[in-house]
Amino acid sequence: MAIIDPIITGLSSGWQHIDASTLEKDRHFEADVVIVGTGAGGGTAAEILSQASVKVIMIEGGALKSSTHFDMEERHAYPNLYQQAAALKTADKGIGIFQGRTVGGSTTINWTTSIRTPEPTLDFWQQAKSVKGLSATELQPWFEKMERRLNIEQWQYEANRNNAALRQGCEKLGWEYTVIKRNVKGCWNTGYCGMGCPVNAKQSMLLTTIPSALDNGATLISRVQSR
Protein backbone atom coordinates (compact mmCIF):
# COMPACT_ATOMS: atom_id res chain seq x y z
CA MET A 1 0.00 0.00 0.00
CA ALA A 2 1.51 3.33 -1.06
CA ILE A 3 1.73 5.94 1.67
CA ILE A 4 1.20 9.49 0.46
CA ASP A 5 3.84 11.84 1.88
CA PRO A 6 2.11 15.19 2.52
CA ILE A 7 5.46 16.97 2.77
CA ILE A 8 6.46 15.92 -0.74
CA THR A 9 3.00 16.93 -1.94
CA GLY A 10 3.24 20.30 -0.21
CA LEU A 11 6.69 21.04 -1.62
CA SER A 12 5.38 20.23 -5.09
CA SER A 13 2.55 22.68 -4.58
CA GLY A 14 4.97 25.56 -4.00
CA TRP A 15 5.77 25.72 -0.28
CA GLN A 16 8.65 28.07 0.45
CA HIS A 17 11.41 25.82 1.77
CA ILE A 18 15.12 26.53 1.61
CA ASP A 19 17.79 24.03 2.60
CA ALA A 20 20.43 26.38 3.98
CA SER A 21 23.19 23.83 3.39
CA THR A 22 22.75 24.37 -0.36
CA LEU A 23 23.20 28.16 -0.24
CA GLU A 24 26.39 29.38 -1.87
CA LYS A 25 26.11 33.06 -1.01
CA ASP A 26 24.32 35.30 1.46
CA ARG A 27 20.59 35.76 1.02
CA HIS A 28 18.35 38.42 2.51
CA PHE A 29 14.87 37.62 3.77
CA GLU A 30 12.12 39.83 5.13
CA ALA A 31 9.63 38.79 7.76
CA ASP A 32 7.46 40.15 10.54
CA VAL A 33 8.48 37.32 12.86
CA VAL A 34 11.38 34.86 12.77
CA ILE A 35 10.77 31.67 14.75
CA VAL A 36 13.84 29.72 15.79
CA GLY A 37 13.06 26.02 16.14
CA THR A 38 10.16 24.13 14.63
CA GLY A 39 9.15 21.88 17.51
CA ALA A 40 6.02 22.08 19.62
CA GLY A 41 6.41 25.77 20.49
CA GLY A 42 7.77 26.97 17.16
CA GLY A 43 5.31 25.06 15.02
CA THR A 44 2.32 26.20 17.05
CA ALA A 45 3.45 29.82 16.99
CA ALA A 46 4.05 29.65 13.23
CA GLU A 47 0.56 28.39 12.55
CA ILE A 48 -1.22 30.90 14.77
CA LEU A 49 0.80 33.87 13.50
CA SER A 50 0.47 32.90 9.84
CA GLN A 51 -3.29 32.53 10.28
CA ALA A 52 -3.26 36.19 11.35
CA SER A 53 -1.46 37.13 8.10
CA VAL A 54 1.84 37.69 9.87
CA LYS A 55 4.79 36.99 7.56
CA VAL A 56 6.69 34.20 9.30
CA ILE A 57 10.08 32.62 8.71
CA MET A 58 10.78 29.35 10.50
CA ILE A 59 14.44 28.55 11.17
CA GLU A 60 15.47 24.96 11.90
CA GLY A 61 18.89 23.45 12.57
CA GLY A 62 17.89 19.98 11.40
CA ALA A 63 16.91 18.78 7.97
CA LEU A 64 13.45 18.42 6.48
CA LYS A 65 12.72 14.71 6.60
CA SER A 66 9.33 13.07 6.22
CA SER A 67 7.60 9.72 5.96
CA THR A 68 9.44 8.96 2.72
CA HIS A 69 12.66 8.87 4.78
CA PHE A 70 11.30 7.19 7.93
CA ASP A 71 12.37 3.57 7.46
CA MET A 72 12.07 2.42 11.12
CA GLU A 73 15.87 1.97 11.35
CA GLU A 74 17.64 3.36 14.42
CA ARG A 75 20.90 3.60 12.47
CA HIS A 76 19.24 6.10 10.13
CA ALA A 77 16.92 7.87 12.55
CA TYR A 78 19.44 8.70 15.29
CA PRO A 79 22.05 10.50 13.16
CA ASN A 80 19.46 12.18 10.95
CA LEU A 81 16.68 13.16 13.35
CA TYR A 82 18.21 13.53 16.83
CA GLN A 83 20.45 16.05 18.58
CA GLN A 84 23.94 14.58 18.85
CA ALA A 85 22.71 11.41 17.13
CA ALA A 86 20.67 10.60 20.28
CA ALA A 87 23.75 10.81 22.54
CA LEU A 88 22.74 14.09 24.26
CA LYS A 89 22.87 13.82 28.07
CA THR A 90 22.34 15.90 31.14
CA ALA A 91 25.44 17.68 32.50
CA ASP A 92 26.10 14.84 34.96
CA LYS A 93 25.63 12.28 32.16
CA GLY A 94 23.01 10.59 34.30
CA ILE A 95 20.06 10.91 31.93
CA GLY A 96 19.87 10.63 28.16
CA ILE A 97 17.94 13.39 26.41
CA PHE A 98 16.20 12.34 23.23
CA GLN A 99 15.80 15.72 21.59
CA GLY A 100 14.84 16.10 17.97
CA ARG A 101 17.00 17.84 15.39
CA THR A 102 14.77 17.85 12.36
CA VAL A 103 11.81 19.83 11.09
CA GLY A 104 9.10 19.32 13.69
CA GLY A 105 11.74 19.05 16.42
CA SER A 106 11.10 16.48 19.10
CA THR A 107 7.47 16.12 18.03
CA THR A 108 8.74 14.26 14.96
CA ILE A 109 10.56 11.63 16.99
CA ASN A 110 8.78 11.42 20.34
CA TRP A 111 6.53 8.57 21.39
CA THR A 112 3.29 10.59 21.16
CA THR A 113 2.66 10.79 24.91
CA SER A 114 0.74 14.05 25.27
CA ILE A 115 0.19 15.53 28.69
CA ARG A 116 -0.67 19.01 29.85
CA THR A 117 2.13 20.83 31.67
CA PRO A 118 1.69 19.63 35.28
CA GLU A 119 0.44 22.19 37.77
CA PRO A 120 3.50 21.82 40.04
CA THR A 121 5.67 22.78 37.05
CA LEU A 122 3.49 25.80 36.28
CA ASP A 123 3.63 26.79 39.95
CA PHE A 124 7.42 26.46 39.94
CA TRP A 125 7.71 28.69 36.88
CA GLN A 126 5.53 31.32 38.51
CA GLN A 127 7.23 31.23 41.90
CA ALA A 128 10.87 30.63 40.96
CA LYS A 129 11.00 32.22 37.51
CA SER A 130 8.43 35.03 37.87
CA VAL A 131 6.46 33.75 34.86
CA LYS A 132 3.07 35.47 34.61
CA GLY A 133 -0.10 34.40 32.84
CA LEU A 134 0.60 30.68 32.65
CA SER A 135 -1.53 29.28 35.44
CA ALA A 136 -3.46 26.08 34.77
CA THR A 137 -6.69 28.10 34.60
CA GLU A 138 -5.28 30.61 32.13
CA LEU A 139 -3.81 27.87 29.97
CA GLN A 140 -6.88 25.65 29.96
CA PRO A 141 -8.43 27.03 26.74
CA TRP A 142 -5.05 26.77 24.99
CA PHE A 143 -4.54 23.20 26.15
CA GLU A 144 -8.04 22.37 24.90
CA LYS A 145 -7.40 24.09 21.58
CA MET A 146 -4.17 22.15 20.94
CA GLU A 147 -5.67 18.86 22.12
CA ARG A 148 -8.36 19.30 19.46
CA ARG A 149 -5.81 20.43 16.88
CA LEU A 150 -3.52 17.44 17.44
CA ASN A 151 -6.24 14.85 17.97
CA ILE A 152 -4.98 14.14 21.50
CA GLU A 153 -7.09 11.38 23.05
CA GLN A 154 -6.69 8.63 25.58
CA TRP A 155 -5.22 5.48 24.02
CA GLN A 156 -8.06 2.96 23.56
CA TYR A 157 -6.15 -0.23 22.80
CA GLU A 158 -5.51 -2.97 25.33
CA ALA A 159 -2.10 -2.59 27.01
CA ASN A 160 0.74 -4.74 25.65
CA ARG A 161 2.54 -7.17 28.01
CA ASN A 162 5.10 -4.62 29.20
CA ASN A 163 2.49 -2.04 30.09
CA ALA A 164 0.11 -4.63 31.49
CA ALA A 165 2.89 -5.67 33.88
CA LEU A 166 3.41 -2.05 34.92
CA ARG A 167 -0.32 -1.63 35.52
CA GLN A 168 -0.45 -4.82 37.55
CA GLY A 169 2.51 -3.65 39.63
CA CYS A 170 0.87 -0.28 40.29
CA GLU A 171 -2.36 -1.96 41.34
CA LYS A 172 -0.56 -4.31 43.71
CA LEU A 173 1.40 -1.45 45.27
CA GLY A 174 -1.61 0.85 45.39
CA TRP A 175 0.15 3.39 43.19
CA GLU A 176 -1.71 5.82 40.98
CA TYR A 177 -1.43 5.22 37.24
CA THR A 178 -3.20 6.36 34.13
CA VAL A 179 -3.51 5.41 30.48
CA ILE A 180 -1.66 8.01 28.43
CA LYS A 181 -3.14 10.34 25.87
CA ARG A 182 -1.55 10.34 22.42
CA ASN A 183 -1.55 12.68 19.43
CA VAL A 184 -2.34 10.18 16.71
CA LYS A 185 -4.89 9.74 13.97
CA GLY A 186 -5.20 6.33 12.30
CA CYS A 187 -2.28 4.85 14.27
CA TRP A 188 -1.09 1.44 13.03
CA ASN A 189 0.32 0.66 16.48
CA THR A 190 3.70 -0.23 15.00
CA GLY A 191 5.70 1.09 17.96
CA TYR A 192 8.22 2.90 15.75
CA CYS A 193 7.26 6.46 16.77
CA GLY A 194 10.84 7.21 17.82
CA MET A 195 12.11 6.67 14.27
CA GLY A 196 9.54 9.07 12.77
CA CYS A 197 6.08 7.82 11.89
CA PRO A 198 6.25 6.06 8.51
CA VAL A 199 2.49 6.25 7.92
CA ASN A 200 1.83 9.84 9.01
CA ALA A 201 -0.41 8.86 11.90
CA LYS A 202 1.51 10.86 14.48
CA GLN A 203 0.07 14.37 14.63
CA SER A 204 3.46 16.04 15.02
CA MET A 205 4.26 19.61 14.04
CA LEU A 206 5.71 18.14 10.85
CA LEU A 207 2.25 16.97 9.85
CA THR A 208 0.02 19.67 11.34
CA THR A 209 1.05 23.21 12.19
CA ILE A 210 4.09 23.52 9.93
CA PRO A 211 2.22 22.49 6.74
CA SER A 212 -0.56 24.85 7.79
CA ALA A 213 1.91 27.73 8.22
CA LEU A 214 3.52 26.92 4.85
CA ASP A 215 0.07 26.85 3.23
CA ASN A 216 -0.44 30.32 4.73
CA GLY A 217 2.72 31.65 3.08
CA ALA A 218 5.35 31.10 5.76
CA THR A 219 8.92 30.27 4.75
CA LEU A 220 10.88 27.35 6.20
CA ILE A 221 14.68 27.40 6.25
CA SER A 222 16.17 24.09 7.36
CA ARG A 223 19.73 22.96 8.16
CA VAL A 224 20.68 26.40 9.46
CA GLN A 225 23.95 26.56 11.36
CA SER A 226 25.17 29.51 13.41
CA ARG A 227 28.70 30.66 12.70
Closest approach of ligand SF4 to the CB of residue 201, in Å:
4
Q: Within 164-223, which residues bind ligand SF4 (CB under 6 A)?
A: 184, 187-193, 197, 199, 201-202
Of residues 56 and 207, the one with the C-beta less far from ligand SF4? 207
- CB neighbours (10 Å) of residue 58? 30
Judged by CB, which is closer to ligand SF4: 49, or 184? Answer: 184
Q: At what angle do helices 119-129 and 136-149 cross, to 10 degrees?
A: 130
CB count in 10 Å sphere of residue 85: 13
Q: Within 96-115, which residues bind ligand SF4 (CB under 6 A)?
A: 112
- The yes or no reply on residue 117 touching ligand SF4 (CB under 6 A) is no
| Shortest Å, Cβ 150 to ligand SF4 | 12
Vertex 100: Cα angle to 94 and 106 (nearest 5): 100
CA distance 112 to 61: 22
The least distance separating ligand SF4 from the CB of residue 197, rounded to whole angstroms, comes to 3
20 vs 199, beta carbon nearer ligand SF4: 199
Neighbours of 65 (CB within 10 A): 21
Q: Report, in Å, the least distance between residue 191 CB and ligand SF4.
A: 5
Alpha-carbon distance of 154 to 162, in angstroms, equals 18
- The pairing of strands 219-222 and 16-19 is parallel
User: Residue 35: is it exposed, middle or buried by C-beta count within 10 angstroms (0-12/13-18/19+)?
Assistant: buried
- Looking at the Cβ atoms of 46 and 184, the one nearer to ligand SF4 is 184
The nearest distance, CB 192 to ligand SF4, in angstroms, is 4
In the bound state with ligand SF4, the residue whose beta carbon lies nearer, of 75 and 89, is 75
Residues found near ligand SF4 in the complex (CB under 6 A): 112, 184, 187-193, 197, 199, 201-202
